[in-house]
Amino acid sequence: MLIKNHPIFEDNQVLTSGQLNQLHKYLDQQNRLTRSCLIGSGIACGLEIAVETGNELTITIKEGMGISSDGYLIKVCPASGFCTTVQFRNYTLPKGVVYTPFQDEKFKQNVYLYELLTSDAQIDENEIVRPLTDIPGGLENKAVILFLECLDNDLKSCLGKSCDELGVDRIFNLRKLLIDADDLLEINGNTINDQPDNYSWWSYRAASREQGGDRSLTADR
């Protein structure tokens, strides 16, 4: 829903968090709608995919930039120029995050997703990480998508009986995921731009394709 009002500040006015957040929401929505609706969501440049099947199976995503279906700017691998993934782990939405294209009517995730990881990715001790050769069904009929998680972290600090309100930090995590191509087609049909702020967002719907040896990320608009 389009936000139709924002506060105007005056001298000596006492500002509330509600007023400041309302202004932020208005400007943020205007910026993102300009990108997604007027410029267009999808890949702006780069993001080609290369698959190597030699001694070690790898999926490399080259540096690139795009606009998410909800208007966020996405830049991948800006430092090295490419991201080479060699392993994966099962991916589930973080606790408390609702993203309906990945979930059924009871908000239970009903799509199998695998997160692609580089060799130096940070991994918890209890996580199960496997080489790309162990992906169920292999890479046949699979697609690569970039998914942008949006999480809010409460910064409230409590020491004894005193709690200082430090606000909330909004954190964005870009995930490189592998998905069955048939599931992707269904999800694309269910993806909508006007989601509540506590949802995670598509970065852009991107599929891996092979035509004469060429593999690249392609985006729907």
pLDDT per residue over 94-104, tens digit each? Answer: 887 778 888 88
pLDDT on residue 213:
36
pLDDT at residue 25 tops 50: yes
pLDDT at residue 200 tops 70: no
The DSSP code sequence of 153-183 is EE--EEETTEEE---EEEEEEEEEEEEEHHH
Average confidence score pLDDT of the chain: 78
Q: pLDDT band at residue 196, thresholds of 50, 70 and 90?
A: very low
pLDDT per residue over 133-179, tens digit each? Answer: 898 888 888 888 888 888 777 777 666 566 666 777 788 888 899 98
pLDDT per residue over 104-135, tens digit each? Answer: 888 888 889 999 998 888 888 888 889 998 98
pLDDT per residue over 43-55, tens digit each? Answer: 888 888 888 887 8
pLDDT on residue 1:
82
Listed by start position, the domains of the chain span 17-219
Q: How far apart are CA 69 and CA 37, in angstroms?
A: 9
Residue 72 and residue 32 in contact, taking contact as beta carbons nearer than 8 Å: yes
- Show the tokens assigned to 127: 């996580």
Rg, Å, the chain Cα set: 20
Count CB atoms within 10 A of the CB of residue 7: 15
Q: How far apart are CA 196 and CA 171, in angstroms?
A: 16
